[in-house]
Amino acid sequence: MEFKRKEKTASGIPTSSLPDIVFMLLIFFMVSTVLREYQGLSVILPSAEKIEKLETKRHVSYVWIAKDGRISIDDKILEMSNVRNIIYEKRKNDPQLTVSLRADKGSNMGLITDFHQELREADALKINYSSKTEA
């Protein structure tokens, strides 16, 4: 007596709808992702005739100085006495650090001079002054 062999059914995962699922996930993540930008303080930048953009934003620490005397470094409001320590730690972690200063055009020049002194004490000598182009 001979037995008939049963044919094995192919057990596989159907991949016909896989591209649809991948594209739906891609669109979902593109729509739901939030790219964070530094907000800082609300300042009115001074205008300049000729400006140059920073080559890279990789080694940049953003500093905002408002006309009321508030100082914000990377979205944290600080006192002038803390600036030296914060910038020194940033400079120690990233020796190529450039400080991008965004000071309000109505801010007190004495405050900016004091800020420069704190940067000198922290050995942060690469400074970029942000401005807007004249219209």
CATH code of the domain in which 72 resides: 3.30.420.270
* Residue 57 or residue 28, greater confidence: 28
- Within a domain: 85: yes
- The mean pLDDT value of the chain amounts to 83
C-alpha–C-alpha distance, residues 60 and 64, integer Å = 13
CB 80 within 8 A of CB 118: yes
- Within a domain: 23: no
Does pLDDT of 10 surpass 90? no
Residue 20's Cα: distance from chain center in Å? Answer: 34
- How sure is the predictor about 38, in pLDDT bands with cuts at 50, 70 and 90? low
Quote the number of domains for the chain: 1
For 15-96, strand residue ranges (E) read 47-48, 60-65, 71-73, 76-78
CB 58 within 8 A of CB 94: no
- Within a domain: 63: yes
Give 103-114 pLDDT, tens digit per residue.
Answer: 888 888 898 899
Q: Return the SS3 of 12.
A: coil
Q: 21-40: string of b/e by CB count within 10 Å (b at 16+)? A: eeeeeeeeeeeeeeeeeeeb
- Within a domain: 95: yes
Which residue range(s) make up the domain with 107? Answer: 47-133
Give 40-52 pLDDT, tens digit per residue.
Answer: 677 767 777 776 7
- Within a domain: 105: yes
- Within a domain: 15: no
- Within a domain: 36: no
- Within a domain: 93: yes
What percent of the chain shows pLDDT beyond 90?
19
Does pLDDT of 23 surpass 90? yes
